[in-house]
């Protein structure tokens, strides 16, 4: 069978009941970078070294009124078919039809099932399970679709997505998984920027804690063991920071990473006969690596510490603390499924012990960690439930004025904010900030996380001046603790620049955005999909300054990057391009782009979102340039009304829409 000209790496077929899962898979697939030593099938299109573009209707379709013809064309142009499988998909006439049409065009071999819910018998569409006969209709012959199973307890999202990617690329799962892990490891290591003093402080404090944490225990054997461990730890710390030849070290920078690597090697080599000391020192090292952002190393070292503790017969208190630290490292590393499983075990252990009358502050820490993990997995209700439970436990045990309470409130506030409960989020986040300031001081790193959340909350409350204040403080803290060129700092500057733009301060926004674009380049982030965000903002600023040709160039670059997490920008970028093109007197091209942008919004934003108001305004500008005055006035009025309702009268976009509407008055 000869293949037609292919435009898409894959076509995602799904019931619109499963819209969210389809969108998530779409972003995940287009975010996978193809390893350089893996050659994808010649028939499979790629873009910028990634599995892209992937077709998903409602996002990729044009404004054509003949949807069936458009979908047939997309199926014909797709290298593979991925079926989001669920009971809803099995009942969907259109999913079943898409499978049959694809098989008629391309055969049986490039069809994959992505099982999200239900048993296979109730989730796989009929056309997925049965082969086509010579007449092109379903036969009695059973097929065996290649499947990824992301249901609870199965592959999970990360492995399930990699299974599909491996099938598309024609490689084994393990080969792709190892390369993906190695790439992530390199990326995280490259992003490390904390100072040596932080590592030294963390290690010194941990060493002291190893000696002092349980001296109040009455059991003599435990006290003696702790004293011995403290003595061995002290000896180790002295040797760790010794320089063998001070003369050769003068003028050289000894990095925190170098010291930590030396320490881990020394622990594994020199303390083989003392597994308990090994375990506790590896625990200290693992936490230091976590503090430095070296999460893959942290997870590896903490795994070793846990096993050494088991071998040495460490008691339940020590083991629980190690498990907690390991779960945190897994979360920071991005292994959300593994972190979720680890935190779930910790919480179940905690609940069982508390049912017997036990209590430790680590229990609340585990609940907070589980809350934050579920938040990032998209379950805001669970995130709120677990962090509220942590808050209640801490309060019940007289720990209202603690760092653990501050952290529980931080996670709770984030969940409340994303659930739309702004009043509760306001209370939780401000209390978290106050506690961190009182307990940890004004330069504690968690403060920049809280300030970022407060900035986001204020933005959603349309209090942009206050949002700018919190975003500026987040930038200050990150610059101080991570350095001005650290990727995290650059991203925070980008957020601040965006706020300044939406507040109408074009001069400040332009100055900040120049730093952001340079920072993305210096941090080697200018090939990352998230580069679409600053490029789009730079284009918007240039548009407002009347630099339309420059703006179009920024928007076109942004569109080339818009995939994965930044795919939600596709719609806004397209209607931004349209406005600039119409200003350049390319009205038909501009109007087409605005309409395509409006269509693409549907994939990521509800119809009440303010962005539709901007789309109305920009379409109005193009219609006016084409001489369609009545249409232009109606669109300008609807756009202004939507922006006024959603953003308030003081937002720059609302003011701009009002000015445009008034300019069209007869």
Listed residues 165, 187, 209: the one ending a domain: 187
Mean pLDDT score, 209-231: 44
- Secondary structure element (H or E) that encloses residue 25, with its range: helix 19-30
Number of domains, the chain: 3
Mean pLDDT score, 72-79: 89
Task: Classify residue 170 as left (phi > 0), alpha (psi -120 to 50) or beta.
Answer: left
CATH number at residue 181: 3.40.50
Listed residues 334, 361, 379: the one ending a domain: 334
Between residues 379 and 216, the one the model is more confident about = 379
Q: How confident is the model at residue 320 (pLDDT cuts 50, 70, 90)?
A: confident
The per-residue pLDDT for 271 is: 57
Q: Could you tell me if residue 308 is inside a domain?
A: yes
Q: How confident is the model at residue 180 (pLDDT cuts 50, 70, 90)?
A: low
Residues 125 and 206 in one domain: no
Which of 225-239, 260-274, 312-326, 614-628 ranks highest by mean pLDDT? 614-628
Between residues 505 and 189, the one the model is more confident about = 505
Between residues 371 and 294, the one the model is more confident about = 371
pLDDT one-digit tens code per residue, 243-281: 333 333 333 333 455 555 666 566 656 556 666 776 777
The per-residue pLDDT for 209 is: 44
The per-residue pLDDT for 38 is: 84
Q: How confident is the model at residue 436 (pLDDT cuts 50, 70, 90)?
A: very high
pLDDT one-digit tens code per residue, 133-149: 888 788 877 766 777 89
Q: How far is residue 302's CA from residue 462's CA, in Å, rounded to a whole number? A: 43
CATH number at residue 625: 1.25.40.10
Residue 466 has pLDDT above 60, yes or no: yes
Residues 178 and 287 in one domain: no
**Cα atoms in the Cβ-side hemisphere of radius 13 Å centred on 32:** 31
Q: Could you tell me if residue 441 is inside a domain?
A: no
Q: Which range marks the domain in which residue 584 is found?
A: 519-663
The per-residue pLDDT for 539 is: 95
Angle between the N-to-C axes of helices 336-355 and 316-333, in degrees from 0 to 180, rounded to the nearest 10: 150
Residues 551 and 654 in one domain: yes
Mean pLDDT score, 454-478: 93
pLDDT one-digit tens code per residue, 27-67: 889 888 888 778 888 888 888 888 989 998 754 444 444 44
Residues 635 and 542 in one domain: yes
Q: How confident is the model at residue 71 (pLDDT cuts 50, 70, 90)?
A: confident
User: How far lies 533's CA from each of 9, 558, 605, in Å?
Assistant: 24, 7, 17
Q: Could you tell me if residue 357 is inside a domain?
A: no
Listed residues 187, 203, 225: the one ending a domain: 187
Q: Could you tell me if residue 86 is inside a domain?
A: yes
Mean pLDDT score, 3-19: 84
Q: How far is residue 387's CA from residue 272's CA, in Å, rounded to a whole number? A: 40
The token pair that represents 250 in the structure block: 């003068």
pTM: 0.60
Residues 133 and 262 in one domain: no
Tell me whether strands 138-142 and 130-132 are parallel, antiparallel or unpaired. Answer: antiparallel
Residue 99 has pLDDT above 80, yes or no: yes
Q: Could you tell me if residue 426 is inside a domain?
A: no
The per-residue pLDDT for 291 is: 64
Residue 232 has pLDDT above 60, yes or no: no
Residues 174 and 267 in one domain: no
Query: What is the per-residue DSSP string for 152-210?
Result: TTSSHHHHHHHHHHHHHHTS-HHHHHHHHHHHHHHHHHHT----HHHHHHHHHHHHHHH
Among the residue ranges 78-82, 105-109, 266-270, the one predicted with the least confidence is 266-270
The per-residue pLDDT for 293 is: 61
Q: How far is residue 433's CA from residue 440's CA, in Å, rounded to a whole number? A: 10
Residues 142 and 181 in one domain: yes
Residue 118 has pLDDT above 70, yes or no: yes
Q: Could you tell me if residue 92 is inside a domain?
A: yes
Q: Residue 580: which of 629, 614, 618 has the closest Cα?
A: 618
Residues 551 and 645 in one domain: yes
Number of helices (H), then strands (E), belonging to the chain: the values are 31, 7
Q: Could you tell me if residue 270 is inside a domain?
A: yes
Residue 441: CB atoms within 10 Å: 9
Residues 125 and 256 in one domain: no
Q: Could you tell me if residue 347 is inside a domain?
A: no
Cβ atoms of 453 and 417 closer than 8 Å: yes
Cβ atoms of 619 and 638 closer than 8 Å: no
Residues 30 and 178 in one domain: yes
Residues 54 and 179 in one domain: yes
Mean pLDDT score, 626-644: 95
Q: How far is residue 283's CA from residue 321's CA, in Å, rounded to a whole number? A: 9
Residues 178 and 195 in one domain: no
């Amino acid at each position: 069978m000869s293949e037609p000209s292919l435009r898409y790496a894959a076509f995602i077929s799904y019931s619109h009941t499963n819209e969210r899962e389809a969108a998530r898979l779409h972003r995940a697939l287009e975010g996978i970078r193809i390893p350089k030593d893996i050659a994808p099938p010649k028939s499979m299109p790629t873009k910028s070294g990634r599995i892209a573009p992937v077709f998903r209707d409602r996002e990729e379709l044009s404004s054509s009124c003949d949807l069936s013809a458009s979908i047939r064309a997309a199926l014909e142009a797709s290298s593979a078919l991925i079926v989001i499988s669920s009971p809803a998909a099995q009942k969907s006439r259109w999913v079943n039809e898409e499978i049959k049409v694809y098989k008629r065009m391309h055969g049986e071999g490039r069809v994959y099932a992505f099982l999200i819910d239900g048993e296979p018998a109730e989730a796989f569409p009929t056309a997925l399970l049965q082969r086509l006969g010579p007449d092109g209709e379903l036969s009695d012959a059973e097929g065996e679709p290649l499947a990824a199973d992301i249901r609870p307890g199965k592959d999970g999202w990360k492995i399930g997505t990699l299974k599909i990617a491996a099938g598309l690329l024609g490689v084994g799962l393990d080969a792709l998984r190892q390369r993906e892990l190695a790439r992530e490891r390199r990326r995280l290591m490259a992003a490390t920027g904390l100072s040596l003093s932080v590592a030294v402080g963390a290690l010194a404090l941990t060493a002291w804690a190893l000696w002092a944490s349980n001296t109040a225990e009455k059991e003599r054997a435990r006290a003696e063991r702790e004293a011995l461990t403290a003595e061995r730890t002290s000896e180790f710390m002295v040797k760790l920071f010794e320089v063998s030849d001070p003369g050769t070290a003068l003028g050289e920078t000894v990095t925190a990473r170098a010291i930590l690597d030396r320490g881990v090697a020394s622990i594994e080599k020199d303390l083989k006969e003392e597994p308990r000391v090994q375990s506790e020192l590896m625990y200290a090292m693992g936490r230091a690596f976590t503090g430095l952002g070296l999460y893959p190393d942290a997870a590896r070292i903490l795994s070793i510490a846990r096993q050494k503790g088991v071998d040495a017969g460490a008691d339940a208190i020590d083991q629980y603390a190690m498990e907690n630290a390991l779960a945190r490292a897994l979360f920071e590393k991005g292994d959300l499924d593994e972190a979720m499983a680890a935190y779930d075990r910790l919480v179940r252990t905690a609940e069982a012990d508390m049912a017997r009358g036990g209590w430790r502050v680590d229990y609340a820490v585990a609940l907070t960690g589980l809350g934050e993990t579920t938040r990032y997995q998209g379950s805001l209700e669970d995130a709120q439930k677990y962090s509220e439970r942590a808050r209640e436990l801490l309060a019940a045990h007289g720990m209202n004025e603690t760092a653990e309470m501050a952290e529980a409130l931080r996670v709770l506030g984030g969940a409340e904010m994303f659930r739309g409960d702004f009043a509760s989020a306001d209370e939780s986040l401000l209390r978290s900030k106050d506690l961190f300031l009182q307990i940890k001081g004004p330069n504690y790193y968690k403060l920049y996380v809280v300030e970022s959340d407060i900035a986001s909350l204020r933005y959603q409350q349309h209090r942009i001046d206050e949002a700018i204040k919190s975003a500026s403080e987040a930038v200050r803290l990150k610059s101080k603790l991570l350095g001005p060129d650290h990727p995290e700092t650059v991203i925070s500057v980008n957020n601040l620049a965006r706020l300044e733009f939406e507040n109408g301060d074009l001069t400040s926004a332009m100055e900040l955005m120049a730093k952001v674009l340079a920072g993305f380049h210096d941090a080697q982030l200018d090939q990352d999909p998230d580069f679409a965000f600053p490029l789009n903002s730079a284009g918007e600023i240039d548009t407002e300054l009347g630099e339309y040709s420059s703006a179009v160039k920024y928007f076109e670059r942004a569109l080339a990057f818009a995939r994965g997490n930044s795919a939600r920008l596709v719609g806004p970028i397209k209607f931004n391009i349209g406005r600039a093109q119409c200003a350049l007197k390319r009205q038909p091209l501009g109007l087409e782009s605005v309409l395509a942008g409006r269509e693409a919004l549907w994939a990521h934003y509800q119809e009440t979102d303010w962005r539709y108001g901007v789309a109305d305004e920009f379409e109005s500008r193009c219609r006016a340039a084409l001489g369609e005055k009545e249409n232009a006035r109606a669109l300008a009025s609807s756009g202004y009304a939507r922006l006024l309702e959603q953003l308030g009268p003081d937002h720059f976009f609302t003011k701009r829409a009002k000015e445009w509407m008034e300019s069209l008055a007869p």
